[in-house]
Chains A and B, each alone.
Chain A
Amino acid sequence: MSRLRTLHDLAPVAFAALVALGGFAGVATAGVLPEDRADILYHRYDGGGVTIDGPSLLVRKKFLEKFSVSANYYVDMVSSASIDVVTTASPYKEQRDQYSLTFDTMRGKTTYSLGYTNSKENDYQADTAFFGLSHDLFGDLTTISMSFARGWDIVQQRDAITGGVDPDFREHVDRRTYSMGLSQVLTRNLVAGASFETITDEGFLNNPYRTVRYVDPTSAVGFSFEDEIYPRTRTSNAVSIRGRYFLPYRAAVHAEYRYYNDTWGILAHTGELGYTHPLGEKWIFDLKYRYYTQDAADFFSDLFPRAQAQNFLARDKELSTFVSHTAGFGATYEFPGGIPYMPRFVKKGTLNVRWDHIFFDYSDFRDIRVSGVAAGTEPLYSFQADVLQLFVSIWF
């Protein structure tokens, strides 16, 4: 019986997306509320047999000079024939809709933020609420920030035959995120930052459709599938540092490093280097390289020796040992307000394109689409993906 996979792995990320949008991913700068602006983005991910595209609309506006409100509507339209899908099920199409709302207010040197996100697809719903504050010190050279987010997910399952949601399967996930950040102006040309984030998840953390494989001499291919079993809790810690430096001829370089570990035994390092180069008054170009490496979760295996080999079983490549390299390029063109066909309230705008190319190289996850080889000797899996972003921003 073929079973459908879903965006289960993507939906919980709504949680992280909210925190990212809500003012703690660089939206807040010292001293002032963020500017009023609107962005319309078209995003497209193509790789490993998966195509996901859709829009993202973001509007931010100040009210009464004291509050800044931002609203985001985001859609993922998925067309998936990924390696997991083709080896255990059939290609599928699906859509995930996400809505976010955040409020920021500034009192003296402190900014308070409140936000809410809802993400929905036909078998997964995620709600997240967050509260945060940031405070400027030492002549606005230092900014400290803290936030707390709480998420509630409802996990359901679609019946492959009827296509409807199975009424007997309804699980929950509780998520809590605690974040702290510090930003420090070091010189006229150098800003540095550090963040720390702890996330705890509790509940049904795996994907009800995903399976693991084990050695099965009775099977024609030498292996059989069984359901994955995950722990019901996961706690992770991540620490990152970053810096941005202004080059005298007007350009900027940035570097970032993140260390991650969690109770599932995953240890990851992330490093990023970037260069931003403006050209005249109208153009800005960005170049970026990102390196990511992770060690597999304790209970991950591409091929277990027998059925029910251990208490927890995972074969999700997201939890395997792998390295990824990303090269990114971006171009921004700024146009002034007052050009033909532009509403009068538009002060300025930008046209933007970004392209990232990602290489994924797995060390302990195999490509089981390859037949005719002994189980466990299939080639290691790797794939490349293209990420395209086209967006228009206006300031008003």
Chain B
Amino acid sequence: MTGKLRNLFKCIALASALVVSVSLAGDGGGRAADFRLDARGGKQLGLGELKGQVVMINFWATWCGPCRQEMPLLEQMHKKYKPMGFTLVGINVEEDSSGAEAWLQKTPVSFPILFDRENRVSKLYNVSGMPSSVLIDRKGNVRYLHRGYKAGDENTYLDHIRALVKEKA
């Protein structure tokens, strides 16, 4: 019996090891799809209005721990690179925006926050992880895609922003 159990677990361990090595592929590239959403503060904002700037779209939600964790870092990045023609755009994906509004009162940010209540834009951009960040160059092309956030990822963001900010419109 023990021998059979050992075989069973060798089988499962092997299967698991192979499963673990298979990773999901992500991609970026192509024209950034245009959209227009309600913004915090009452107005609306469309992606087209930001042409000529480097734009980082960050899909987030209040119920997502890593999203909340990276917000202050995104705020720092926005403040630092705004003079160089960079802007962060936060897109909150919750059906009910009141939670986001309340959270932003406690943790304010200076970059625009849009509300994608029907998840139209999330679907458009094939959001496959929370949080997700999309980096768009001055010409309006998607250049980098980040899925998830772990401490230290902000260094990768900064490398990409610095590279894109140097490019001409």
Contacts and interface: CB of A to CB of B under 8 A. Distances in A.
Interface of A: 31-32, 35, 65, 108-110, 133, 135, 137, 139-140, 144, 146, 148, 178, 180, 198, 200, 235
Given A135-B16, A146-B13, A180-B12, A198 B151 contact: no
B9 A148 contact: yes
Given A110-B20, A133-B16, A146-B16, A65 B150 contact: yes
Interface in B7-34: 8-9, 12-13, 16, 19-20, 23-24
Contacts of A198: 5
Interface of B (DSSP majority class)? helix
B16 A65 contact: no
A139 B12 contact: no
B19 A32 contact: no
A146 B12 contact: yes
Nearest to B65: A32
- Of all A-B residue pairs in the complex, the 7 with the closest CB atoms, nearest first, are A65-B151, A110-B20, A135-B20, A32-B65, A178-B9, A146-B12, A178-B5
Nearest to A148: B9
Contacts of B85: none
A10 B151 CA distance: 42
A200 B6 CA distance: 13
B1 A235 contact: yes
B9 A31 contact: no
Given A32-B66, A178-B5, A180-B12, A65 B19 contact: no
A180 B12 CA distance: 9
Interface in B101-152: 128-129, 148, 150-152
B156 interface: no
A369 B66 CA distance: 60
Given A32-B65, A139-B128, A178-B5, 7 more contacts: A31-B148, A108-B23, A109-B20, A135-B20, A144-B19, A146-B9, A200-B2
A146 B19 CA distance: 13
A133 B66 CA distance: 22
Contacts of B65: 32, 35
A198 B4 CA distance: 12
